[in-house]
Structure 1
Amino acid sequence: MPTITRIENDHLSIDVSSLGAEMQAITSRDGANWLWNGDAAFWTGRSPVLFPIVGKAPDDTLLIDGKPYPMAQHGLARRREFSPAGASATACRFTLDASEDTLAIYPFDFRLSVEHSLDGATLTVAAEVENRGQDPMPFGFGFHPAFAWPLPGAEGRAHSVILDNGAEPDRQPLENGLLSPERQASPFNKGRLLLAHGLFENDALVFPEGAGDGLTYEAEGGPALKFRFENLPNLALWTKPGAPFLCVEPWHGTAAELGRSRELKDRPSTTVLASGETKRFAFSVTFPV
């Protein structure tokens, strides 16, 4: 059975499950709940870790050097039990190593480490992917945290996402979970996107490039969450229409493109890691507490 590890300080309390190294709760000292609660009526996820793919593969099948492997949407890590690898009052670390089970669907010897840590009112979630095998290892990686919408204490207020760089990045639409090769005009206006559930009627908003390395998710005249991204050039925003959450998803890798190569190494923004190398990916979010 999964175990829950709690880290906390004077500002925040974070619960992390050993299943998927997935956050289960972010609670501030005033009792406000900032993370989505996983209500099965909408979506049971809360903050899954996406590895070794982000999004879907055609027919849920990857090609690796021409050989097919079954792979569900967003990869294998979110459904695997991680091992504890150290904890303190304000930080915890979990690892997932390749096994006979994972090698059958992803033929690489990897170690995935995920650490959650607190520094004041800032939460940082960092992941390291290590290639422990001899062959170059292609993969995608992403974070998928879901935050309350409306934010605590901001019911009835307009909510926005504001890019630090003030950009208007193109959107790449999804068709049955795969990226369409076409690009669409940005829904951002001078870096600001006013959120509305109608934006998500055709799935997530995916911005393959140009969104920058930071943003703010805020309620007008209310609370604001400030994000920073490390080595995560792709951004998606997602909810199910009518659901009370917003996923802010920084990625390094996307779904496969419709009608293009099915090879894992050819997916957009795929990382290919040499033997013995490690790559780090991280995001931080500062809460108004």
Structure 2
Amino acid sequence: MNLNVRYLEEFVTLTEKKNFLEAAECLFISQSCLSKHIKKLETEIGVELFERTTRTVVLTEFGQMLLPYARKMVGLEYEFEKNVRRKIHQDSGNIVLGSIPSMKQHAITALIAGFLNENPDMTLQTIEGDSTFVKELLTDGKCDIAFLRSESSSVKEFNSIPYMIDYLTAVLPATHPLAKADNLPFEQLRGETFLLFPEHSFINDLCIRECRNAGFEPHIAYTGNRGATLIDLVRNGAGITLMMHHSARQENDSSLAFIPVTPGIYSYISLNYAKEKPLSPQAEIFVRYVKAHKRDF
């Protein structure tokens, strides 16, 4: 018996989704292709894995027997691929760093430049994205270390080194009635038009939660990835935005007002690495460098 691990992965996904269309979309293949692969798997094993007399996906007794073994085989292949990638990184002298996008604003680019100047024999590749995306990279072994933003000074899933603290700021046109305030309670933002970072990003989730805590549902007219675009929209009268102070302060513009929200809402930038896997020698050197040069809290 020669079982195709890809087909086993598709089998596991189908049992979890319980629907051919949803499973096919999750696997980025057509429904007919998924059906053919399942049929080939059944032919190879010599038994039917799914009941064919029902509209929903129901495992046969043989399918139920296969499921724990299929999960184990798919998991072993995943672990093997992850360890191979890690070994390649270790042998190459290359460090793969995941990071939130605002690297310049949080002096991460300056940190990297200093590290490379001190270690000219090393190379460093960065992959940027929001904290949710970068967490997945680190969990999957697709980066060695990662700068993440969170609401506490450490991220429980990883070993964390605190790097910088930041706080939430409202960005308004200087002509806005609230522009002269020293700080802004969320209650005063009721009725405003919000321009925010994308749905499910760290700051978007934080802002929506705080608006709801203040008793209102925010009217969100625009979402986008780039802070500079959000600020330019504010400058042109499209609404207000909320972002972290270190990102907002890059715009030194008299046409805008930057006002901390109250009570203070803080976020923490930390350098993170996996708990269960040893760091490569190169990544260890980078971690030591960050510990020696991290920003004072």
TM-score (norm 2): 0.23
Normalized per residue, which structure has more strand? 1
The structure carrying a bigger helix percent of its residues is 2
**TM-score, normalised relative to structure 1:** 0.23
Greater radius of gyration (CA): 2
